[in-house]
Amino acid sequence: MLRIHFTGEDLARVRLAVRPDVLWETILSFHRLRDRRGATVYGEWRSETRARLNGETRLLASLVPSRGYFPDFLTPPEALHGLDEGLEAVRVTPVRRLRAELGLLAADRPHTAPAGRLAGLDEGAAEPMARLIGALRSYHRAAVDPYWTQIQAAVEADRAARGRALLDGGADELLASLPPMLRWSAPVLEADYPVDRDVHLEGRGLLLQPSYFCRGTPVVRRDPALPPVLVYPVTHCGAAAPVDAERDRVSLGRLVGHTRSAVLHSIGNGCTTSELARRAGVSLASASQHACVLREAGLVITLRNGNAVLHTMTPLGTALLRGGAQRDPAPVPAQAPHAHAHAPVPAQAQAQGPVQAPAAASPTRGTGPSPRR
């Protein structure tokens, strides 16, 4: 059992990540690649990804076992800014931390730790670190990057659902709205976990990080001195599919018309079907039909939220409204350093500060991706 203990100050400092974390998705997808569960969502993705991989998985398997601990330095907070920023943070990990975390990894599997593949990494030697960075970048290119638009859409839809809960009932309602494997009984958030663990936030707050490739159980960092983050699974609406420009072109052809354009604008930061009908001035049946067409075109994602359904725009839908075709969000400007070297990034431009309602569509590990400690 995992128990996360909140104080009043922690509740005021709950944050919701503004975008997917590129290295959490990369590492957790490596778990999904090697497990056979979740075939409906991940089966086709596994087949397509394995066909693109070369030798990237050998070194990664040395650091990321199928179950149990994997080093915290692989998922630095800087990865919320993008892959380059995340990999640079990995590259400059202090040698003392490398030794400590690789030592934990070796202790966790004393009979299988492949010391040869990791030789020199615990000394921060340039060559083994360069190999690791190269393996992470190549694996991400094959397994995550082709699906990034869908990953973004799923995370942004989750943000919309959590944002509505926040607006309706504050941080208490936000925590109660998390997926069923997480249970909020103030002042403790509980989850089934492969080990018994208590996390005391002690006024630092908590970063909630929705993840496309997290499955079954949430994930937390092992080192209690690191900024607290809870990675949890998003609700999946379908299997991951790489970007298909021709498919998108044909689908977008169905969008011609003033009413449907008005409907897309009306969805804004997210709304239910009833709210959409009211905003767009159309009947409930018409709003549902238009939302279906927009969803098929990849411009909208729909999730069930209690007894209602919640429609939010995907990055493609947002780009269309803004008159652009930009796939990724604009780079996040650099911020002044936080008092803690590894603190999460500030909200909106970064991912810190009190939880905000989402802007326009923005484990000790174990069973699924092994919960981190």
Give residue-wise pLDDT tens across range 255-285.
546 778 788 888 877 888 888 888 888 888 8
Q: Considering the entire predicted model, what is its pTM?
A: 0.69
- Cα separation, 86 vs 324, whole angstroms: 27
End-to-end CA distance of the chain: 11
Half-sphere exposure of 237 (CA within 13 A, CB side): 24
Q: Taking residues 48-57, what's their average pLDDT?
A: 84
Which residues make Cβ contacts (< 8 Å) with residue 348, sequence separation at least 6?
Answer: 18, 356, 359
CA-based Rg of the chain, rounded to a whole angstrom? 21
Residue type for 293, please? V
Give residue-wise pLDDT tens across range 233-262.
998 765 555 655 445 444 444 554 677 878
